[in-house]
A and B are shown apart, each in its own frame.
Chain A
Amino acid sequence: GENVEQHPSTLSVQEGDSAVIKCTYSDSASNYFPWYKQELGKGPQLIIDIRSNVGEKKDQRIAVTLNKTAKHFSLHITETQPEDSAVYFCAAHQAGTALIFGKGTTLSVSS
């Protein structure tokens, strides 16, 4: 089955800096790669996703990149703000199967 590895487990940045979180997956059949943000006491919330026919996707300050050959995908947050502080999860999925999550990255943005 699918296995997703996520690094780093914790990340501390200064407000305004960029943050990068990296994930690898094992199943080459996976074709959908979402990123979720989870705040304390809440369920994970989808912030951006990418499909295997696309190499990069941007939405304002966040972007995701996908390297299918290497089975790597990354989340990039630019101009970080204190409200970006949360736990971020990457995940991998193929239709008809379960979405498999990484272990999460705790991002702390200090002002």
Chain B
Amino acid sequence: GAGVSQTPSNKVTEKGKYVELRCDPISGHTALYWYRQSLGQGPEFLIYFQGTGAADDSGLPNDRFFAVRPEGSVSTLKIQRTERGDSAVYLCASSLGQELTFGSGTRLTVV
């Protein structure tokens, strides 16, 4: 596609449930990033892939968060045992060089 696609655009889940958020990057972009954005804040780095491997996962807040990119294209962010504090917009971005292109995000609400 022409841009970064994130699905779903909105997700409401109950506390304790498992969720998966999907990101389709721009074709050919080798790097893929996940960020989390809370209301009124800047995007907070979670994890960065170069190809299939996680080059930097230092932003993942705890072991409930995990991300994969098995074929070096689509990525899935997985959150186990969701908590109300996980509610935020999860942004994905891809790049070929240093210029990142963002998707519109997935708004996750944990009730």
Q: Which residues of B96-111 have CB atoms within 8 Å of chain A's CB atoms? A: 98-105
Which residues of chain A have C-beta atoms less than 8 A from B42's C-beta?
Answer: 6, 89, 101-104
**What is the interface of chain A mostly: helix, strand, loop, or mixed?**
loop
Which residues of chain A have C-beta atoms less than 8 A from B67's C-beta?
Answer: none
What is the total number of residues of chain A having a CB less than 8 Å from a CB of chain B? 24
Contact present for B91 and A104 (CB under 8 Å) = no
Give the interface size class of chain B. Answer: 20 to 34
Contact present for B99 and A46 (CB under 8 Å) = yes
- What is the CA–CA distance of A21 and B108 in the complex, to the nearest angstrom? 30
Q: A34 to nearest B CB, angstroms?
A: 7
- What is the CA–CA distance of A18 and B89 in the complex, to the nearest angstrom? 31
B80-104 toward A: CB 8 Å interface, digit per residue (1/0)? 0000000000010100001111111
Provided the pairs A89-B43, A99-B45, A104-B41 are in contact, do residues A43 and B33 lie with their beta carbons within 8 angstroms?
no
Report which A residues bind B (CB closer than 8 A).
1, 6, 32, 34, 36, 41-46, 49, 89, 93, 95-104
Report which B residues bind A (CB closer than 8 A).
4, 33, 35, 40-45, 48, 55-56, 58-59, 91, 93, 98-105
Beyond contacts A98-B45, A98-B59, A101-B42: 15 other A-B pairs, Cβ-Cβ < 8 A, are A6-B42, A34-B98, A34-B100, A43-B4, A43-B93, A43-B102, A44-B91, A49-B98, A89-B42, A95-B98, A98-B33, A98-B58, A99-B98, A101-B35, A104-B40
